[in-house]
Amino acid sequence: MSNTLKQSLGAKDLVTLMSAHNPLSARLAEEAGFDGIWASGFELSAAYGVPDASLLSLTQHLDMTRAMIEQTTIPMVADIDTGYGNAINVLHVVSAYARAGAAAVVMEDKLFPKDTSLLAGGRQELVRIEEFQGKIDAARKAGREHDLVVIARTEALIADMGLDEALRRGMAYAEAGADLLLVHSKRKTPDEIVAFCARWQGPIPLTIVPTAYPDLTEDKARALKKIKIMIYANHAIRAAVGAMRETFAQIRRDRGIHQVDKQIASVEDIFDLQRVPAMKAAEKKYLR
């Protein structure tokens, strides 16, 4: 089976992914022209109103990822957190995502249950390098039949273990067969990632998540020469929260919907996003 993410990685110098937490947000990301969708664990946790701390089940995340895949045509990159346990869990989990049609999985080297990466004072404990290499090997095996891309993610910088440890882990994960390395940073400026890129001599390209250091634009990422994927990891849910708050507050202020009606998406817009025109065409054809 051909993997459309692999095609994009071959054709483009930088692949951009936008987060989504349901099929509607995934469809909007596709409409905006991103190369793929990031099935974010943080966003889905937030959508359920719970912390991103291994509280959602595999089934909850997998079902939503599958639903998003069914309603979009661009590649889906699934955030599988720690793989829900050890390498045996990974065999089971990655096989399920591959069969659901994910183009790639991102698996991080934190201990299960994890805590979210950008939380000040969060629990950031990493598993041993050998253990994570086994998990990467298991992910590769489980995804091989579907040509799945395996992205190994190190949280060494998130855990304040320093550049040397991040580089050591990155190299070990490349040796274990990861296709790309995601290196995550919580610094407010791009310096740490820029320094990592300068020292990275591994055989695989990098993936970054610039949430904490928004000044690192796509052009700047390209200029670093080592980055192949850029993930905008939580901008769907943050945009949605901002827009809903504003609209709800205005309705309370105005004591009615007369002002907001022209400012928000029309009902017809939602019909289009639901693919109502396609249903109408099908009615003409099949309802007899």
35, 52, 79, 81: which one is catalytic? 52
Q: How far is the CB of 118 from ligand SPV (least distance, A)?
A: 5
**Residue 109 is a binding residue for ligand SPV (CB under 6 A):** no
- Sequence-separated (6 or more) residues with CB below 8 Å from residue 74: 4, 29, 30, 34, 35, 36, 37
If one asks whether residue 190 binds Mg ion (CB under 5 A), the answer comes out as no
Q: Applying CB under 5 A, which of residues 3, 9, 23, 41 lies at the interface with Mg ion?
A: 41
How many C-beta neighbours within 10 Å does residue 96 have? 18
The reply on whether position 207 binds ligand SPV by CB under 6 A is no
Looking at residues 51 to 70 of the shown chain, list those that interact with ligand SPV (rule: CB under 6 A). Answer: 52
Q: Is 18 in the site for ligand SPV (CB under 6 A)?
A: no
Length of the chain, please?
288
Instruction: Report in angstroms the alpha-carbon separations of 69 from 36, 37, 45, 50.
Output: 11, 9, 18, 23
Q: Does residue 124 interact with ligand SPV by CB under 6 A?
A: no
**What is the footprint of Mg ion within residues 50-109 (CB under 5 A)?**
79
52 is catalytic: yes
With b meaning 16 or more CB within 10 Å and e meaning fewer, what string describes 156-180?
Answer: bbbbebebebbbebbbbbbebebbb
Chain positions 168 to 187 lying near ligand SPV, rule: CB under 6 A, are none
- Tell me the CA distances in angstroms from 131 to 85, 93, 120, 199, 201, one per residue in order: 11, 17, 27, 25, 23
Select the span of 115-123, 131-139, 258-266, 271-279 touching ligand SPV (CB under 6 A): 115-123
**Residue with Cβ nearer ligand SPV (69 or 151):** 151
* Distance separating alpha carbons of residues 175 and 192, to the nearest angstrom: 23
Whose tokens are 């990467």? That residue is 136
Q: Which of 37, 233, 236, 240 binds ligand SPV (CB under 6 A)?
A: 233
CB of 95 or CB of 116, closer to ligand SPV? 116
Q: Which residues are catalytic?
A: 52
Residues interacting with ligand SPV, by CB under 6 A?
19, 40-43, 52, 79, 116-118, 209, 211, 233-234
